Amino acid sequence: MNPLLTFATARRVLAQLRNDPRTVALLLVTPVVLVALMKWVYLDQDRVFQRIGVPLVGIFPMTSMFLVTSITMLRERTTGTLERLLTTPLAKLDLLGGYALAFGAVAVLQGALTSAVAFGLLGLDVEGPLLAVVVLAVVNALLGTSMGLLVSAFANSEFQAVQFMPVFLMPQILLCGLIAPRAAMAPALEALSNVLPMTYAYDALSRVAGGEGFSGNVASDTLVLAVASLLALALGAATLRRRTE
Amino acid sequence: MTEPAISIHHLRVVRGGNEVLHNLDLDIEPGVITGLLGPSGCGKTTMMRAIVGVQKVASGQVTVLGQPAGSSSLRAKVGYVTQAPSVYEDLSIEANLHYFARLYGVPTGRATAALEAVGLSEHSTKLVRQLSGGQRARASLASALLASPEVLILDEPTVGLDPVLRAELWATFHQLAGDGATLLVSSHVMDEAERCDRLVLMREGAILAHCPPRQLLADTGASTVEDAFLSLVRKPGVAV
Ligand SMILES: Nc1ncnc2c1ncn2[C@@H]1O[C@H](COP(=O)(O)OP(=O)(O)O)[C@@H](O)[C@H]1O
Ligand SMILES: [Mg+2]
């Protein structure tokens, strides 16, 4: 690995995004609009807004980075640039690291903006440290990025790549505890939710919302998320074959 | 002959269940331009992919500058321009070149000369998305030229280009070879044959001939490379 090449790749990915202002606007504005919409929906039920607001702010980056990454990487595979990159001195890990760095940076921006609006303007409360929400948002975004890199290997077209989002993420949203408490689920579903990374994202965020800091369960949840990211990244690296038929 | 720049030994490649390269043997001389000619589908791209180390091979060896093809030590020394332009559509030409310069560890300032060599200087800030097919191909070529690789593998680099520009590109290729680079340039049309120092004629995954253009014409008694190709198909056997 060569950090110069990792940075060069992150810079290139960010430059590609910059030339697509509409995507950048969607990335930054969508979560803000969704939180505002939720505030409106639960205008008379502030307790519900408080319960799901913080997890939403922290989990949203996972879904948007999953989508942008899987499409960007799919394009890299289908337009021949990936094959070309693999003939240059760029190592596979430089490529994956470049993606993670670029989309991690976007996630910081997205998380900061959404947090500013949600906590500053919309009256969302977090009893734990606000910084922990932003950190978790970035960790979740990195997880979304590595899962997106991985699934891009199984899609042949952008249509397929887009469909992976409901396939991969919707079940996780349903089972993570956000919609219904996990303890009230059928035992099989609860067991399944134990191996889905979003469960740990939700658990950490709701604990921070309730006043816990970066220790104990929140720290171990974050560790699980980081390990899941690395695992997806390693599997993603394995799908980047230098030699193909 | 001096130590070959590229050496292919008993190479067999299977793609989609069919054997597309049959037991090829080929030594490419260093410091010259070798033209790889043959009809569409004969296996030119497959052979080039094997040389840059992205093709799965069934058996045989490919050696480049004394190293097994695809070795990490070769990646800064071997440039590959794919048949379909492989540059980023949503970046400007310049941004593409700068990225590839960084990957090859050469100064980004080299982009200027590379753009001039392919005649794209005035368009450097345009997004690749806004370019014509030929311009994209040239942007793709420039991204490899700027690294001044020791071995340059160019898959149909001049197809569909304006004849004036084609002549200029060939002058650039000769200059690179003059500076010591080894070039392998493929084409499915025979009209560029006389611009090459050596020719490799291919058909259906096998090599028909490997020699300088003049010798090919002399040995086959043909007046054009196309006629020489025809006579070789009917009566194979010119020295490799
Ligand atoms: N991705 C692929 N999968 C299966 N077969 C392929 C693939 N690409 C090319 N082929 C086959 O390999 C043979 C050689 O193709 P190629 O090397 O692209 O020829 P050329 O570059 O001379 O036009 C052809 O018969 C083609 O059909
Ligand atoms: Mg071809």
Residues 15-34 on B with a CB inside 8 Å of A are 15-16
Q: What tens digit of pLDDT does each residue of B34-86 get?
A: 999 999 999 999 999 999 999 999 999 999 999 999 999 999 999 999 999 99
pLDDT value, residue B215: 94
Mean pLDDT, to the nearest integer, of A10-14? 97
* Predicted TM-score of the model (pTM): 0.92
Residues of A in contact with B105 (CB under 8 A): 4, 89
pLDDT value, residue B235: 74
- E strand segments, chain B: 6-15, 18-28, 33-37, 59-64, 67-68, 78-81, 151-154, 182-187, 198-203, 206-211
B226: which 2 tokens? 């196309």
Centre of ligand 1 from the C-alpha of residue A190, in Å: 50
pLDDT value, residue B240: 46
Q: What tens digit of pLDDT does each residue of A80-121 get?
A: 999 999 999 999 999 999 999 999 999 999 999 999 999 999
CB pairs under 8 A between A and B: 76
Q: Is B128 domain-assigned?
A: yes
Given a cut of 80, whether residue B239 has pLDDT beyond it is no
Q: Is B56 domain-assigned?
A: no
**A130-151 and A92-115 helices, crossing angle to 10°:** 140
pLDDT value, residue B1: 55
Q: What tens digit of pLDDT does each residue of A62-86 get?
A: 999 999 999 999 999 999 999 999 9
Alpha-carbon distance of B160 to B26, in angstroms, equals 28
Q: Please, what is the average pLDDT of chain B?
A: 94
Q: Is B16 domain-assigned?
A: no
Q: What is the ipTM for the molecules in this complex?
A: 0.90
Q: What tens digit of pLDDT does each residue of B78-117 get?
A: 999 999 999 999 999 999 999 999 999 999 999 999 999 9
Which atom of ligand 1 approaches the CA of B46 most closely? 17
- Identify the nearest ligand to the CA of B47 by its number: 1
Q: Is B20 domain-assigned?
A: no
Q: Is B169 domain-assigned?
A: no
DSSP helix/strand/coil, B122: helix
Q: What tens digit of pLDDT does each residue of A129-177 get?
A: 999 999 999 999 999 999 999 999 899 899 999 999 899 999 999 999 9
Across the interface, of A12, A87, A242, the residue whose CB is closest to B80 is A87
Across the interface, of A16, A79, A244, the residue whose CB is closest to B54 is A244
DSSP category for residue A244: B
**Number of folded domains that form chain B:** 1
- Indicate yes or no: CB of A81 within 8 angstroms of CB of B88: yes
Beta-bridged to residue B202, according to DSSP, are B207
Q: What tens digit of pLDDT does each residue of B171-213 get?
A: 999 999 999 999 999 998 888 898 999 999 999 999 999 999 9
Which atom of ligand 1 approaches the CA of B18 most closely? 5
Amino acid at B85: P
Residues 6 or more apart whose CB falls under 8 angstroms from that of A194 comprise none
Centre of ligand 2 from the C-alpha of residue A244, in Å: 16
Q: Is B94 domain-assigned?
A: yes
Alpha-carbon distance of B198 to B209, in angstroms, equals 10
Residue with tokens 């090459």: B196
Decide: residue A235, CB within 10 A, 0-12 exposed, 13-18 middle, 19+ buried: middle
Q: Is B108 domain-assigned?
A: yes
Provide the sign of the torsion angle of the four alpha carbons B161, B165, B167, B173, taken in this order.
negative
**B133-145 and B163-178 helices, crossing angle to 10°:** 10
Q: Is B60 domain-assigned?
A: no
φ, ψ dihedrals at B46, nearest 5°:
-60, -45
Q: What tens digit of pLDDT does each residue of A38-49 get?
A: 999 999 999 999
B17: which 2 tokens? 């269940």
Alpha-carbon distance of A219 to A237, in angstroms, equals 27
User: Which residue range is the domain that position B98 belongs to?
Assistant: 84-148
